[in-house]
Structure 1
Amino acid sequence: MTSFTTQMTSTSSPVNVLDEDCGTDYVNLYKFYAAVMIIILILALPLNASVLHLFIFKLKFWKTNTNNIFLFNLVLADILLLICLPIKAYNFIIGERRSTNDTVCKAMLFMLFLNRGASIAFLTVTSIDRYFNVVHPGRKNLLRALKKSPQISIVIWLLLLPLTIPTMLKNFDCCNSHKANSSSVEELVDSMREVVFFSQIVIPFFILVYCTVHIVNRLRKKTVGDRTKLRRAVFLVTSVMVVFSFCFLPCTIARVVLLVSRVELWSKTSQAKAAAAFDGLMVLSYLDCLLDPLIYCFCSTKFKGLYLSTYFPFLLKGDQVMPESSTGNTPQTRSTNNVI
């Protein structure tokens, strides 16, 4: 009778009950993570929204042949990623690593993977474009031809959609990959999911390293031009590499440790610590949404002047305020459209 009651209880339990691997014993630590995400949201969302406004209404990014199209999509992806943070923060506050609602959980996974992947993709494409402009100026390449059309951005978004499919098949946040009792189908899904996670970071990382090293070497060999501008350009490409490494490599390493802890069947305490470290470093990766506009946009003195003259004109001297005519079809507009 007892076994029958137990069986009835287990079969009648809701399907969206929180998996034991998705709970946490470190409630206070996860509340701290939630506070960090809220701070990132408060700082990054207005910044990205204001930059997005400039791209649309001041720079008119779709009319230019510069990196503005890619940077617009980079900022857009960061904004969409930031929108997910309040739900994530709420789950952390109540001691859950993900939502107990299956629909909300899968929607969050879709948004996080798609927009995080888009952010990294457009960051990488922008670096590749800068590589060709600096290292191989004048050489014809496919990217230079494609970036003249805004449709290339749509293609990049569509290519990222299939990469979200493995994350929707099972709950990814709680790292239940490659358990001892997994079936062959589950093992295949787990492997696909991990390939997506690591490829989104590792492949762009090596591309960024290659582009950064060659760009820095090329700029240092230049003997003509303003040395201040050259130093600023070296600082920019180096900063991109440092920020990417700081935001994404730690969570990648933590993911490896967490997978090893599950596969090697470490103690529950060790697995819980590995999970907490991974979640914390994933929170660290969201800083990329705050640092992207600061690096790519505000390293340009012209864009910084446009931003300040639009939102904080009182911080500029009278002769530094950019006139409204700069957004028209004047030579100054063409200069402004290439500020980044």
Structure 2
Amino acid sequence: MTNSIDLPPDHCNTTNPITYQVLSGLMIGEFVFGLPLNLSVLYIFLFRFKFWRTNSVFLFNIVVADFLLMVCLPAKAYNYQHGVRRSENKGLCATMLFMLFLNRGASIAFLTTLSIDRYFNVVHLGKRNCVKFLRKSPLISLLIWFFLLPLTVPTMVTTFECCNSLGRANETLFHNITDTFREVVFFTQIVIPFVILVYCTVRIVDRLRKKTVGEKTKLRRAVFLVTSVMVVFSVCFLPCAIARAVLLAVRMLEIQDAEVMVVQVYDGLMVLSYIDCLLDPLLYCFCCTGFRDAYLEAFCPAALLKSMPNFDSRTTNTHTGHTVNVPLEQK
């Protein structure tokens, strides 16, 4: 392993070639498995499920965010294979950072919005609220994408990508302010949604305990959804946020020997965070059985027939507009 004193000032070269070759291979694996999965999900939402008719606008935006994030992985893997943590082309580097953090932020935002929607449907069922209206229109989705743009711009600098933020030599007041702002944006996009998810999960679980037996099936599905989203957060996003906090502390304390190792851990956990593009499609099935049935009908019809032994082939699917095999007993 290269000693930290040999690192360039911007810390953008990899310190352990073997580690970054492994991380590159992991990203290639995520891309190979994730691209066809996300393409198939995108196909179902556009042509078989018709999300605009089924109040699934939030789910569709998660699909778009995951797909755009997935197509960035080959370039990131290429950089790691060549011993650099970001592209040496400044324009390409800024574009990659913009795409990675915009779509990662969008995935987090829409997963959180989906959980909030379930919270209102369960905890405040029967009450008039704006969430029921907004989930039927693209307005809130457009607003989320719009507000994410200015939050993504601060990350489009090489100092952020190379973890060369705070604690730099000869740092000016301007550097301190801009670096602090970038870090606040990074942590806010993870910590605040996680707090919201915990609150929604606790309230929905509490509601489940108070409901009668006849109403518990729908509530259990809602609990399963918000719990699954929280698990995705806990596996994909929280670890990299914790690692970055440790990295910033190490940098400010000028513990150079530890910094080399912590940087590698942070990069590894960032690569792990991209696996949410593989986990999110599972959430689509948990959220909407209509999507699950449309997906099985398109790609695994035998599995659909096995799970639905009682079906009527003359029934028309109201979600897709196509005639499909659906159970005689409605869910």
TM-score (norm 1): 0.85
Is the 1:34–1:89 contact (alpha carbons within 8 Å) kept by the matching residues of 2? yes
Distance (Å, rounded) in 1 between the aligned partners of 2:11 and 2:129: 48
1:294 aligns with 2:285: no
Report the Cα offset of residue 87 of structure 1: 0.5
| 1:322–1:161 Cα change, 3 Å | farther
| 1:155–1:223 Cα change, 3 Å | same
Aligned to 1:10: none
Aligned to 1:80: 68
Moved more, 22-31 or 165-174: 165-174
| 1:299–1:133 Cα change, 3 Å | closer
Report the Cα offset of residue 229 of structure 1: 4.9
Residue in structure 2 matching 1:326, options 317, 320, 323: 317
Structure 1: which 5+ residue stretches go unaligned? 1-17
Distance (Å, rounded) in 1 between the aligned partners of 2:249 and 2:313: 56
1:244 aligns with 2:241: no
| 1:126–1:205 Cα change, 3 Å | same
Letter in structure 2 aligned against 1:134: V
Q: Secondary structure at the match of 2:171?
A: coil
Residue in structure 1 matching 2:31, options 12, 28, 41: 41
- Residues 19-40 of structure 1: CA deviation (Å, up to 9, x unaligned): 5501122111111111111111
Is the 1:236–1:296 contact (alpha carbons within 8 Å) kept by the matching residues of 2? no
Is the 1:247–1:285 contact (alpha carbons within 8 Å) kept by the matching residues of 2? yes
Aligned to 2:173: 184
Q: How many residues align?
A: 316
- Residues 125-144 of structure 1: CA deviation (Å, up to 9, x unaligned): 11001000000001122222
Residue in structure 1 matching 2:78, options 85, 90, 113: 90
Distance (Å, rounded) in 1 between the aligned partners of 2:312 and 2:160: 49
Aligned to 1:115: 103
Is the 2:208–2:216 contact (alpha carbons within 8 Å) kept by the matching residues of 1? no
Alignment of 1:19-30 (within 5 A): 20-30=10-20
Moved more, 140-149 or 34-43: 140-149
Letter in structure 2 aligned against 1:99: S
Report the Cα offset of residue 301 of structure 1: 4.2
Distance (Å, rounded) in 1 between the aligned partners of 2:284 and 2:223: 13
Alignment of 1:205-224 (within 5 A): 205-224=194-213
Distance (Å, rounded) in 1 between the aligned partners of 2:27 and 2:111: 22
- Residues 19-72 of structure 1: CA deviation (Å, up to 9, x unaligned): 5501122111111111111111122222122112111112222233x2x10010
Aligned to 2:131: 143
What is the identity percentage for the equivalent residue pairs of Structure 1 and Structure 2? 56
Letter in structure 1 aligned against 2:186: F
| 1:105–1:123 Cα change, 3 Å | same
